[in-house]
Amino acid sequence: MKIIESGNVAAATGVMLSRAQVIAAYPITPQTPLTEKLSEMVESGQMKAEYIAVESEHSALSVCIGAASAGARAFTATSANGLLYMSEQVYWSAGARLPLVMCVVNRGLGAPWTIWNDHQDSMSQRDAGWIQIYVNNHQEIIDTIIKAYRLAQTVSIPVMVCFDGYYLSHTYMPYEVPSQKLVDEFLPKYYYKHTLDPANPENLNTVTMPYGRPDANGEFRNGYMDIRHNHHQEMVNAIKTFEETDKEFEHLFGRGGNPLVAGYKCDDADYIVVLMGSLSNRLKDIADDFRDQGTKIGVLSVHLYRPFPAQAIVNALENAKGVVVFEKSISYGYQGGLYSDIKAAMYNIKNRPFIHNHIIGLGGRLIKNEDLIEAINRSIASQQELDNQPQWIGLNR
């Protein structure tokens, strides 16, 4: 069934189809309509779940931690400073290896206050141990939430599904709603190997010693550093698992095929623009205009950001002459995080392309096509590496 609705409704529908059993909600713009829609679904009986309105974002994720630990599939969503407020529990839920899914409806961070879109919020949590997936349209929102629940449960690592505030959350686009029967076939019932069980008591997440030691039953238990190593390695392995998950989704639903990165006319491109989120849709039109004028431009949209799909990035970019990275976030005092990661991935390429960094759209600053075109032309004209400082696009002049 194809409908036209907002991105927030697409997200809520994906959560409903995934049969989430506990919804913990605290309102924050531009996420609020997502959880409001879920409350309507629960109240009307369309969705069989407990809807818990809490007093803060910290409590929202705390409820999800409790629900997931007790054996229920849980969901929450947030934006901006709400994500920062729950940061302690973001780290905790990752360390507890809970198969949670959370939507981050991307918005700039205060202070100063802004309600408009950029990626500073989710990028600030990129090292928290969650899988992060960025999507570009409403179809990807609903599909990715369903895939995220299966991925989280398979690898026992929580997943953030990130999508642009307003550009996707509040706009209306057509998308296909999967059938409940197929979603049930794709997504197994909830399972967490440490679900609380009075018949089999466990101590979970107690104070951990620097080195491993036997537990009360004589079974050797890892120390803190070993646990972190295992989490890291299983994050790396999750790249392959996500590819397998997407392949099964594509088999059942006929959509997918680009779980890590999605390229547009990159195979023969001399220059490739790389970015995350909905702006990639506009860059495709710009790339076509460049090609009409004789310059081969491609667009690479990064979907999976953590774990970072370094080999997929290298495969897509290694034959280009130049790479232009546009991003809506900044690591203060250095450069954009996506740019840094791409540079690191490309470091050992023998004839690596030049790579330029452009910061755009912070706090909802208007991103003009002419500014994007000018930045690409400037990069092509330079044909060389710039210093480590990024170029800022759209500043007041």
145: left (phi over 0), alpha (psi -120 to 50) or beta: alpha
> With bands split at pLDDT 50, 70 and 90, how would you rate the model's confidence at 176?
very high
C-alpha–C-alpha distance, residues 25 and 6, integer Å: 19
C-alpha–C-alpha distance, residues 176 and 140, integer Å: 10
Q: Please, what is the average pLDDT of the chain?
A: 96
- The predicted model gives 352-373 an average pLDDT of 96
Q: What is the pLDDT of residues 213-265, one digit of tens each?
A: 888 888 898 999 999 999 999 999 999 999 999 999 999 999 999 999 999 99
Is 385's pLDDT higher than 80? no
Residue 94 has φ and ψ, to the nearest 5°, of -70, -45
Q: Which CATH class is domain 261-392?
A: alpha beta
Model pTM score: 0.97
| 374: number of Cβ within 10 Å | 12
**Architecture of domain 2-186 in CATH?**
3-Layer(aba) Sandwich (3.40)
**Residues 73/20, Cβ–Cβ less than 8 Å:** yes
- The predicted model gives 55-74 an average pLDDT of 98
Is the Cα torsion angle 305, 307, 308, 313 positive or negative in sign? negative
The string over 306-332, giving b where at least 16 C-beta atoms fall within 10 Å of a residue's C-beta and e elsewhere, is bbbbbebbbebbeebebbbbbbbbbee
Q: What is the pLDDT of residues 79-124, one digit of tens each?
A: 999 999 999 999 999 999 999 999 999 999 999 999 999 999 999 9
Is 387's pLDDT higher than 70? no
Domains of the chain, residue spans: 2-186, 261-392
Residue 5 has φ and ψ, to the nearest 5°, of -155, 180
Same fold for the pair 2-186 and 261-392: yes
| 375: number of Cβ within 10 Å | 19
* Burial environment of residue 102 by CB neighbours within 10 A (0 to 12, 13 to 18, 19 or more): buried
